[in-house]
């Protein structure tokens, strides 16, 4: 495993960071508690020291599972990354920016983006309880909230840094313009954004800026929710309430199949899976600090961690980029 410094923060994160969205269950067709905890333990056993979650994942369940999984572990050797700013319980009293309707047990639940100072403080206290800890290593705004001035949110994060309740502050899903505005108030540690072989738009403007200003990039959805593993072109089945039934529709299946077919021999030459090859490629791209990889059981978690064992030569990287150019 490689460990990388996150921007100007004191944090060193594992290059493969455990992504805990799926173990929350909602939008992913449910979860199995013991399998989820086993996945976290297997990640740690294979050198993954960083765990990324959010209150919204499972409406608190993902954070609770991480808290339970870390009981008895050396807290100083694990970095907890969580978020704030998505409210689903009505505590925002209609304030904030309406986002979408989530579903739980067939019931629609309105979700709001809400990053006002008082909500930031409230959510951190709730997360600390669920995570069974007294500090958060990296606290990130989950989504931009147009109803709250960016400087107000950044000031709340500055206050939490001074109090020692968080060790570093970041954002998620911020555009270049948003990052530039936030940076006027706070030296951000990171921006967590979607990035994959199929989605490289951040290379054009965001990565040059974050590289120049020493802001880390946390890449999420590097496998496009499992699509780039190749198994969904085989016999894998999705439950009816799995959001990927709609998510995968944005991609051209024939082009994705062709890409994976071209990459398969390279993966086999490395004695690796397609998923491992994709994760390793992602970790080697300019400006990418760490790569999030979700896992719902111990085998998946161990496999993700082993992706960092793969070595890719310049010629092999050039070959991959030539194949990616065919997606255009």
Q: Name residue 108's beta-bridge partners.
A: 103
Phi, psi (degrees; rounded to nearest 5) at 87? -115, 130
Q: Please give the pLDDT value at position 283.
A: 98
Measure the CA–CA gap between 31 and 65, rounded to whole angstroms: 11
Q: Has 57 been annotated as catalytic?
A: yes
Give the homologous superfamily in CATH for domain 3-325.
NADP-dependent oxidoreductase domain (3.20.20.100)
Q: Where are the domains of the chain?
A: 3-325
Q: Please give the pLDDT value at position 31.
A: 58
Residue 286: how many CA atoms within 13 Å on its side-chain side?
A: 13
Beta-strand relationship, 107-113 and 216-220: unpaired
Q: Please give the pLDDT value at position 296.
A: 83
Q: Name residue 291's beta-bridge partners.
A: 16, 219
Q: Please give the pLDDT value at position 39.
A: 92
Tokens representing residue 21 in the block: 């969205």
Identify the active-site residue in 3, 18, 57, 183.
57
Of 149, 208, 162, 157, residue with least CA distance to 186: 157
Phi, psi (degrees; rounded to nearest 5) at 213? -105, 10
User: H helices of 132-243, where?
Assistant: 150-163, 176-183, 206-212
Of 191, 160, 194, 166, residue with least CA distance to 178: 191
CA 257 to chain centre: 25
Spell out, as residue ranges, where the chain has pLDDT lower than 70.
Answer: 24-31, 232-250
């Amino acid at each position: 495993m490689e460990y990388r410094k996150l921007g100007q923060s004191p944090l060193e994160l594992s290059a493969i960071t455990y992504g805990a969205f799926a173990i929350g269950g909602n939008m992913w067709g449910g979860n199995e508690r013991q399998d989820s905890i086993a996945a976290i333990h297997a990640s740690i056993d294979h050198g993954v020291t960083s765990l990324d979650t959010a209150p919204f994942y499972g409406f608190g369940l993902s954070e609770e599972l991480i808290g339970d999984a870390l009981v008895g572990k050396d807290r100083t050797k694990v970095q907890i990354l969580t978020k704030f700013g998505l409210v689903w319980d009505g505590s925002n009293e209609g304030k904030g920016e309406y986002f979408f309707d989530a579903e739980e047990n067939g019931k629609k639940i309105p979700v709001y983006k809400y990053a006002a100072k008082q909500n930031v403080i409230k959510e951190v206290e709730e997360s600390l309880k669920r995570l069974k800890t007294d500090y958060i290593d990296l606290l990130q705004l989950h989504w931009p909230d147009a109803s709250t001035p960016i400087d107000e949110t950044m000031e709340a994060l500055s206050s939490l840094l001074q109090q020692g309740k968080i060790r570093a502050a970041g954002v998620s899903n911020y555009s270049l313009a948003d990052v530039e505005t936030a940076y006027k108030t706070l030296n951000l540690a990171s921006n967590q954004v979607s990035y994959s072989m199929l989605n490289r738009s951040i290379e054009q403007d965001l990565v040059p800026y974050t590289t120049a200003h020493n802001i880390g990039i946390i890449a999420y959805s590097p496998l496009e929710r499992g699509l780039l593993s190749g198994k969904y072109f085989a016999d894998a089945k999705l439950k009816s309430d799995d959001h990927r039934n709609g998510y995968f529709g944005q991609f051209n299946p024939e082009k994705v199949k062709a890409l994976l077919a071209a990459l398969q021999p390279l993966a086999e030459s490395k004695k690796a899976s397609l998923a491992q090859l994709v994760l390793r490629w992602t970790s080697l791209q300019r400006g990418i600090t760490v790569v999030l990889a979700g896992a719902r059981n111990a085998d998946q978690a161990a496999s993700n961690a082993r992706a960092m064992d793969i070595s890719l030569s310049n010629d092999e990287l050039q070959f991959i980029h030539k194949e990616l150019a065919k997606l255009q």
